[in-house]
Amino acid sequence: MTTTTQPAVRTAGVWKIFEHDGIAVEAVRGVSLRIDRGEFVVLAGPSGSGKTTLLNLVGGLTRPTRGRVWIDEQDITDLPERRLAQLRLERLGFVFQAYNLLPVLTALENAEFSLLLRGVPEAERRRAVTELFTKIGIDGLEDRRPGKLSGGQQQRVAVARAVVGEPALVLADEPTANLDSASSGALLDVMVRLNQELGTTFVFATHDTDLMARARRLIRLVDGAIASDVRQ
Protein backbone atom coordinates (compact mmCIF):
# COMPACT_ATOMS: atom_id res chain seq x y z
CA MET A 1 0.00 0.00 0.00
CA THR A 2 1.43 3.35 -1.03
CA THR A 3 0.63 6.51 0.85
CA THR A 4 -0.63 9.73 -0.68
CA THR A 5 0.83 13.16 -0.22
CA GLN A 6 -2.41 14.33 1.35
CA PRO A 7 -2.03 14.55 5.12
CA ALA A 8 -4.57 12.72 7.25
CA VAL A 9 -3.42 14.70 10.29
CA ARG A 10 -0.96 17.47 11.12
CA THR A 11 0.09 19.09 14.37
CA ALA A 12 2.18 22.23 14.85
CA GLY A 13 3.90 22.99 18.15
CA VAL A 14 1.32 21.11 20.21
CA TRP A 15 1.58 21.22 23.99
CA LYS A 16 -0.73 19.67 26.58
CA ILE A 17 -0.25 20.76 30.18
CA PHE A 18 -2.33 19.30 33.00
CA GLU A 19 -2.63 20.68 36.50
CA HIS A 20 -2.17 18.05 39.21
CA ASP A 21 -2.25 19.12 42.87
CA GLY A 22 -1.22 22.60 41.81
CA ILE A 23 1.72 21.29 39.77
CA ALA A 24 1.87 21.76 35.99
CA VAL A 25 2.53 18.45 34.22
CA GLU A 26 3.75 18.76 30.61
CA ALA A 27 2.25 15.63 29.04
CA VAL A 28 3.02 16.67 25.43
CA ARG A 29 5.74 19.20 24.65
CA GLY A 30 5.94 21.03 21.35
CA VAL A 31 5.08 18.17 19.00
CA SER A 32 4.95 18.96 15.28
CA LEU A 33 3.91 15.98 13.19
CA ARG A 34 2.49 15.07 9.78
CA ILE A 35 0.90 11.71 8.97
CA ASP A 36 -0.17 11.12 5.38
CA ARG A 37 -3.14 9.07 4.23
CA GLY A 38 -2.37 5.37 4.00
CA GLU A 39 0.34 5.33 6.68
CA PHE A 40 0.59 2.67 9.39
CA VAL A 41 2.15 4.50 12.34
CA VAL A 42 2.98 3.49 15.89
CA LEU A 43 3.53 5.91 18.77
CA ALA A 44 5.74 4.13 21.29
CA GLY A 45 7.36 5.02 24.58
CA PRO A 46 7.36 4.20 28.28
CA SER A 47 4.38 4.90 30.52
CA GLY A 48 4.04 8.64 30.96
CA SER A 49 5.78 9.42 27.67
CA GLY A 50 2.69 11.19 26.31
CA LYS A 51 1.67 8.77 23.56
CA THR A 52 -1.97 8.37 24.66
CA THR A 53 -2.30 12.12 25.27
CA LEU A 54 -0.93 12.82 21.79
CA LEU A 55 -3.36 10.29 20.31
CA ASN A 56 -6.23 12.04 22.11
CA LEU A 57 -5.07 15.43 20.83
CA VAL A 58 -4.91 14.12 17.27
CA GLY A 59 -8.42 12.69 17.64
CA GLY A 60 -9.95 15.83 19.09
CA LEU A 61 -10.74 14.05 22.35
CA THR A 62 -8.77 16.68 24.25
CA ARG A 63 -7.71 20.18 23.23
CA PRO A 64 -4.11 21.38 23.19
CA THR A 65 -2.91 23.95 25.71
CA ARG A 66 -1.24 25.59 22.74
CA GLY A 67 -0.41 24.68 19.16
CA ARG A 68 -2.66 23.59 16.29
CA VAL A 69 -4.17 20.33 15.03
CA TRP A 70 -5.54 19.65 11.53
CA ILE A 71 -7.58 16.66 10.32
CA ASP A 72 -7.75 16.36 6.53
CA GLU A 73 -6.41 19.92 6.39
CA GLN A 74 -9.26 21.24 8.56
CA ASP A 75 -8.05 23.09 11.65
CA ILE A 76 -9.91 21.47 14.55
CA THR A 77 -8.12 23.33 17.35
CA ASP A 78 -10.86 25.82 18.11
CA LEU A 79 -13.88 24.05 16.65
CA PRO A 80 -17.01 24.26 18.84
CA GLU A 81 -17.63 20.97 20.62
CA ARG A 82 -20.70 20.14 18.56
CA ARG A 83 -18.84 20.54 15.26
CA LEU A 84 -15.87 18.64 16.65
CA ALA A 85 -18.12 15.74 17.66
CA GLN A 86 -19.60 15.69 14.15
CA LEU A 87 -16.12 15.65 12.61
CA ARG A 88 -15.09 12.74 14.84
CA LEU A 89 -18.23 10.85 13.78
CA GLU A 90 -17.74 11.43 10.06
CA ARG A 91 -13.97 11.34 9.60
CA LEU A 92 -12.33 9.45 12.48
CA GLY A 93 -12.45 5.92 13.80
CA PHE A 94 -11.43 4.85 17.31
CA VAL A 95 -10.33 1.49 18.73
CA PHE A 96 -9.97 1.34 22.50
CA GLN A 97 -8.21 -1.11 24.79
CA ALA A 98 -11.49 -2.01 26.53
CA TYR A 99 -13.44 -2.59 23.25
CA ASN A 100 -16.27 -0.20 24.33
CA LEU A 101 -19.00 -2.29 22.71
CA LEU A 102 -22.61 -1.76 23.81
CA PRO A 103 -23.66 -4.98 25.60
CA VAL A 104 -27.33 -4.79 24.57
CA LEU A 105 -26.51 -4.62 20.86
CA THR A 106 -25.46 -7.46 18.57
CA ALA A 107 -22.06 -7.51 16.91
CA LEU A 108 -23.58 -6.20 13.69
CA GLU A 109 -25.51 -3.45 15.50
CA ASN A 110 -22.34 -2.37 17.33
CA ALA A 111 -20.35 -2.26 14.10
CA GLU A 112 -22.98 -0.25 12.22
CA PHE A 113 -23.63 2.21 15.05
CA SER A 114 -21.62 5.11 13.63
CA LEU A 115 -23.32 4.66 10.25
CA LEU A 116 -26.69 4.71 12.01
CA LEU A 117 -25.78 8.00 13.69
CA ARG A 118 -24.77 9.39 10.29
CA GLY A 119 -28.16 8.53 8.82
CA VAL A 120 -26.96 5.82 6.43
CA PRO A 121 -29.96 3.72 5.24
CA GLU A 122 -30.34 0.35 6.93
CA ALA A 123 -29.78 -1.79 3.84
CA GLU A 124 -26.61 0.09 2.95
CA ARG A 125 -25.09 -0.09 6.42
CA ARG A 126 -26.00 -3.78 6.85
CA ARG A 127 -24.37 -4.58 3.52
CA ALA A 128 -21.21 -2.64 4.44
CA VAL A 129 -20.88 -4.36 7.83
CA THR A 130 -21.60 -7.84 6.47
CA GLU A 131 -18.94 -7.45 3.77
CA LEU A 132 -16.43 -6.15 6.31
CA PHE A 133 -17.15 -8.99 8.76
CA THR A 134 -16.35 -11.46 5.98
CA LYS A 135 -13.14 -9.60 5.14
CA ILE A 136 -11.89 -9.66 8.75
CA GLY A 137 -12.99 -13.22 9.54
CA ILE A 138 -15.96 -12.80 11.88
CA ASP A 139 -18.78 -13.56 9.46
CA GLY A 140 -21.45 -15.69 11.14
CA LEU A 141 -21.16 -13.73 14.42
CA GLU A 142 -23.44 -10.88 13.38
CA ASP A 143 -26.25 -11.77 15.80
CA ARG A 144 -24.11 -12.44 18.88
CA ARG A 145 -23.94 -9.92 21.68
CA PRO A 146 -20.54 -8.97 23.15
CA GLY A 147 -20.97 -11.28 26.16
CA LYS A 148 -21.01 -14.24 23.76
CA LEU A 149 -17.83 -13.23 21.95
CA SER A 150 -14.20 -13.84 22.85
CA GLY A 151 -11.92 -10.90 23.52
CA GLY A 152 -10.36 -11.20 20.09
CA GLN A 153 -13.76 -11.34 18.42
CA GLN A 154 -14.93 -8.28 20.37
CA GLN A 155 -11.88 -6.33 19.30
CA ARG A 156 -12.47 -7.27 15.66
CA VAL A 157 -16.00 -5.93 15.99
CA ALA A 158 -14.51 -2.74 17.44
CA VAL A 159 -12.13 -2.50 14.48
CA ALA A 160 -15.04 -3.03 12.08
CA ARG A 161 -16.95 -0.24 13.81
CA ALA A 162 -13.92 2.05 13.46
CA VAL A 163 -13.27 1.46 9.75
CA VAL A 164 -16.71 0.77 8.22
CA GLY A 165 -17.37 4.46 7.57
CA GLU A 166 -14.08 4.80 5.62
CA PRO A 167 -12.63 7.44 7.95
CA ALA A 168 -9.65 9.63 7.15
CA LEU A 169 -7.87 8.21 10.18
CA VAL A 170 -8.23 5.34 12.68
CA LEU A 171 -6.72 5.89 16.14
CA ALA A 172 -6.07 2.83 18.30
CA ASP A 173 -4.98 3.02 21.94
CA GLU A 174 -3.32 -0.24 23.11
CA PRO A 175 -5.73 -2.33 20.98
CA THR A 176 -3.96 -5.62 21.78
CA ALA A 177 -3.37 -5.09 25.50
CA ASN A 178 -6.22 -7.36 26.69
CA LEU A 179 -5.63 -10.14 24.15
CA ASP A 180 -3.56 -13.31 24.27
CA SER A 181 -0.70 -13.62 21.79
CA ALA A 182 -2.70 -15.62 19.23
CA SER A 183 -5.65 -13.21 19.27
CA SER A 184 -3.30 -10.24 19.21
CA GLY A 185 -1.45 -11.57 16.17
CA ALA A 186 -4.71 -12.29 14.35
CA LEU A 187 -6.01 -8.79 15.06
CA LEU A 188 -2.79 -7.21 13.81
CA ASP A 189 -3.06 -9.28 10.63
CA VAL A 190 -6.55 -7.82 10.14
CA MET A 191 -5.42 -4.22 10.60
CA VAL A 192 -2.38 -4.64 8.33
CA ARG A 193 -4.67 -6.10 5.65
CA LEU A 194 -7.17 -3.24 5.99
CA ASN A 195 -4.31 -0.77 5.64
CA GLN A 196 -2.96 -2.51 2.55
CA GLU A 197 -6.26 -3.31 0.81
CA LEU A 198 -8.44 -0.34 1.75
CA GLY A 199 -5.75 2.27 2.35
CA THR A 200 -7.02 2.86 5.90
CA THR A 201 -4.68 5.15 7.85
CA PHE A 202 -3.82 3.78 11.30
CA VAL A 203 -2.09 5.49 14.22
CA PHE A 204 -1.48 3.37 17.32
CA ALA A 205 -0.33 4.12 20.84
CA THR A 206 1.14 0.92 22.21
CA HIS A 207 3.70 -1.01 24.26
CA ASP A 208 3.23 -4.08 22.03
CA THR A 209 6.59 -4.99 20.49
CA ASP A 210 4.91 -7.12 17.80
CA LEU A 211 2.86 -4.12 16.70
CA MET A 212 6.00 -1.94 16.76
CA ALA A 213 7.73 -4.46 14.51
CA ARG A 214 4.87 -4.28 11.99
CA ALA A 215 4.78 -0.49 11.90
CA ARG A 216 5.95 1.16 8.71
CA ARG A 217 6.72 4.25 10.76
CA LEU A 218 7.75 4.17 14.42
CA ILE A 219 7.63 7.40 16.44
CA ARG A 220 9.18 7.17 19.89
CA LEU A 221 8.16 9.65 22.57
CA VAL A 222 10.15 10.51 25.69
CA ASP A 223 8.84 12.96 28.30
CA GLY A 224 6.15 14.24 25.94
CA ALA A 225 8.46 15.02 23.01
CA ILE A 226 9.43 13.11 19.86
CA ALA A 227 12.74 11.36 20.44
CA SER A 228 12.88 9.58 17.07
CA ASP A 229 10.76 9.17 13.94
CA VAL A 230 11.83 6.25 11.77
CA ARG A 231 10.32 4.71 8.65
CA GLN A 232 10.78 0.96 8.63
DSSP string over 177-227? TTS-HHHHHHHHHHHHHHHHHH---EEEE---HHHHHH-SEEEEEETTEEE
Regions of the chain where pLDDT drops below 50: none
Among 210, 220, 203, CA closest to 162 = 203
Query: In total, how many domains does the chain have?
Result: 1
- Give domain status of residue 7, yes or no: no
- Give domain status of residue 11, yes or no: no
- Give domain status of residue 3, yes or no: no
Domain boundaries, position 177: 39-63+80-231
What is residue 22's predicted lDDT score, i.e. its pLDDT? Answer: 84
- Give domain status of residue 12, yes or no: no
- Cα end-to-end distance, the chain, whole Å: 14
What is residue 26's predicted lDDT score, i.e. its pLDDT? Answer: 95
Instruction: Judge whether 220 and 45 are in contact, CB under 8 Å.
Output: yes
- Give domain status of residue 97, yes or no: yes
Cα distances (Å, whole numbers) of residue 192 to 16, 114, 159, 163: 30, 22, 12, 13
Q: Global pTM?
A: 0.90
**pLDDT per position as a tens digit, 102-160:** 999 999 999 999 999 999 999 999 999 999 999 888 999 999 999 999 999 999 999 99
- Give domain status of residue 174, yes or no: yes
What is residue 2's predicted lDDT score, i.e. its pLDDT? Answer: 52
- Give domain status of residue 125, yes or no: yes
Distance CA 149, CA 145 (A): 7
Q: What is the CATH number of the domain that holds 132?
A: 3.40.50.300
- Give domain status of residue 1, yes or no: no
Distance CA 219, CA 197 (A): 23
Distance CA 171, CA 96 (A): 8
